Copies of this chain bind each other. A is one copy, B any other.
Amino acid sequence: MADGLNLSRRLRRTPYTDRAEAAGVRGFSVVNHMLLPKAYGRSVEEDYWHLRAHVQIWDVACQRQVEIAGPDAARLVQWMTPRAIGRARVGDCLYLPITDETGGLINDPVLLKLAEDRFWLSIADSDLLLFAKGLALGAGFDVTIREPDVAPLAVQGPKAEALLAGLFGAHVRDIGFFRFGWIEFAGTRQLIARSGYSRQGGFEIYLEGGQLGGALWDAIWQAGQGFRIAPGCPNLIERIEGGLLSYGNEMTRDNNPLEIGLGRFCALDGSVDYLGRAALQRIAADGVARQIRGVLFDGGPGPVCAAPWPVMAAGRRIGQVTSAAWSPRLRRNVGLSLIERGFWEPGQPVTVESRDGACRPGEISALPFA
């Protein structure tokens, strides 16, 4: 699962890396030029069961914020996304695709509306700041764009609410899904959202001021002792079962939001103007040629899916698996895959050619997995 990672300043440490190391982190990924803890010495399966039952603390500081502020901020954000943002309220979190003029996906951040003229885009793994800056400089928008010193720390799992309400106050319970509020911590006001990269519930604290990172981790860790808290990270099994997509894995610039299942976030009726509109309207009119699906397949736990695995049917390649894991709950492998039109029905038999050379029989599944 893990090869060696050679460290350097370029792979930035986070305000929580010291704590992750003290907690025994054994493997990282790299997202937005920053370390993302991905393994703590327990198996992905052990973490999976723990996440579903208790509560975990995740260093997701790599979810960098692109702050867009100023008179043209809302205009610039809307220009980048097919999702209509006009009705968003301050305090809303909006998951949204960002596309270029071809409809190709640049990123799929969560937008936090801080004020009518101030937004954070909490980004996946691409330098969205550079795209936004380029657009703003090219078109002469009156905005300032920067990466603030904000480091999200996720608290995920069914016990997250009880833990955080005890630590920061009962008002945390009133924060709706994909809404954010505020907590007091160490004399500062900090943003907290009911969100996170799992289906088990929880919150993300957008800590402003990296020097507070250790203290915040410690406070949550201590308060979590009664809840069997453990250090964790986005769990591959849980996110695949839950149908949570990952930019760079399930989607790249070669994909459009319609084929990736993000059509519900795309205004195609002409009511909103944005970069990719003409392209997406054309794609919608033609009908997408491929679409994201689940695949259930046999053969026991497989190797890591580190490059797309061919999905075969009717004697030819009809798609690819881009993330896969053994589901201990379903007792089969689960995968996220992009599948050619004509093979989308749940139950469609396929074969997955995993990297170990095995041809694994399976079938198409709806998402999320049952």
A contact set with B: CB distance below 8 Å = 1-13, 25-30, 33, 38-39, 100-101, 106, 125-128, 130-141, 246-249, 275, 304-308, 322-323
Partner of A26, one of B3, B7, B249, B305: B3
Residues from chain B with Cβ under 8 Å of A307 in the complex: 9, 12-13
State whether B138 touches A304 (Cβ < 8 A).
no
Which chain B residue has the least Cβ–Cβ distance from A25?
A: B3
Residues from chain B with Cβ under 8 Å of A135 in the complex: 134-135, 137-138
CA distance A100 to B132 in the complex (A): 12
Partner of A2, one of B5, B29, B304: B5
State whether B27 touches A30 (Cβ < 8 A).
no
- A131-B133, A134-B131 known; A39+B6 contact, CB < 8 A: yes
**Closest Cβ–Cβ distance, residue A86 to chain B (whole Å):** 21
State whether B29 touches A323 (Cβ < 8 A).
no
**Closest Cβ–Cβ distance, residue A304 to chain B (whole Å):** 5
Residues from chain B with Cβ under 8 Å of A7 in the complex: 1-3, 304, 306
Residues from chain B with Cβ under 8 Å of A4 in the complex: 1-5, 26-28, 38-39
Which chain B residue has the least Cβ–Cβ distance from A1?
A: B6
Which chain B residue has the least Cβ–Cβ distance from A147?
A: B253
CA distance A141 to B7 in the complex (A): 39
Which chain B residue has the least Cβ–Cβ distance from A250?
A: B9
Complex A-B: 15 CB contacts under 8 Å = A2-B7, A3-B4, A3-B26, A6-B39, A8-B249, A9-B248, A10-B248, A11-B248, A100-B137, A106-B130, A130-B134, A131-B133, A134-B135, A134-B137, A139-B139
State whether B137 touches A137 (Cβ < 8 A).
no
CA distance A172 to B247 in the complex (A): 41
CA distance A249 to B126 in the complex (A): 18
A-B interface, 5 closest residue pairs, ranked by CB to CB distance from nearest = A134-B134, A138-B138, A10-B248, A4-B27, A2-B4
State whether B29 touches A11 (Cβ < 8 A).
yes
Partner of A125, one of B3, B33, B134: B33
CA distance A308 to B13 in the complex (A): 10
CA distance A141 to B101 in the complex (A): 13
State whether B13 touches A29 (Cβ < 8 A).
no
Count chain B CB atoms within 10 A of each CB in A131, A246, A305 and give the residue with the most. A131
State whether A249 touches B6 (Cβ < 8 A).
no
State whether B306 touches A9 (Cβ < 8 A).
yes
Which chain B residue has the least Cβ–Cβ distance from A307?
A: B13
State whether B138 touches A136 (Cβ < 8 A).
yes
**Closest Cβ–Cβ distance, residue A69 to chain B (whole Å):** 16
